Amino acid sequence: MARRPLPRILSNGSAQIARSRELARTAADSATDVLHPLITVSRGLRRLAGAGLRKWADTPKDRRGPLLFLVASVILVMTLVPYGPLLAAISLMAAAAWTGRDRTPPAPTGPDEAQTGRLQSLYEALVPYFSAAEDPDPLYAHGGDWEKVFSSYDFDDDGRVSRLLIRYPAYFTDGEAESRARIEQLLHAKSGRGREYHFDWDEESNELTITVLPPLPTDIAAQRFVTAPGETVLGFTDPADVQRTLPLTYGEEQRDVPPVVWRTGIRSTEPHLLVVGEPGSGTTTLMRSIALQTLQYGDVVIVEGGGTGEYACLTGRAGVLAVECGLAGALASLEWAAHETERRLIAANRARQAGHPAPDDIKNPLWILLDRPSALGHLTAADGRKDPQALLQVPLRHGRAAGVTVVVAEHFDSLDVLSEAVRQHTRARVVLGPASSAQLEAVLGVPPHTTPTRDVPPGRGYARLGTGPVLRLQVPATPDPYDDATSEAQRRAVLELLPEHTTPADAGALPLKAAVAES
Compute the chain's Rg from CA coordinates.
35
Are 345 and 403 a contacting pair, CB within 8 Å? no
Residue 507 has, within 13 A of its CA and on its CB side, a CA count of: 6
- Non-local (6+) Cβ contacts of 225 within 8 A are 233, 246, 248, 259, 293
pLDDT of residue 60 exceeding 90, the answer is: no
Amino acid 481: pLDDT: 93
Cβ atoms of 476 and 234 closer than 8 Å: no
In terms of C-beta density within 10 A (0-12 exposed, 13-18 middle, 19 or more buried), how is residue 108 classed? exposed
Please state the pTM of the whole predicted model: 0.75
Give Cα separations from 74 to 47, 78, 81, 92, 183 (angstroms): 21, 6, 11, 14, 75
Annotated binding site for ATP: 277-284
Residue 114: how many CB atoms within 10 A of its CB? 10
Q: For residue 430, which amino acid is it?
A: V
Task: Name the least confident of 87-91, 150-154, 421-425.
Answer: 87-91
| Residue pLDDT, tens place only, 413-443 | 889 999 999 999 999 999 999 998 889 999 9
> pLDDT (tens digit, 9 = 90+) per residue, 324-380?
988 889 999 999 999 999 999 999 999 989 888 888 888 899 999 999 998 888 888
- pLDDT tens digit sequence for 309-329: 899 999 999 999 999 988 889
Average pLDDT, integer, range 107-127: 83
Q: What is the rounded CA–CA span in Å between residue 17 and residue 25? A: 12
Could you report how far apart the first and last alpha carbons of the chain are, in Å?
Answer: 69
Binding residues: 277-284
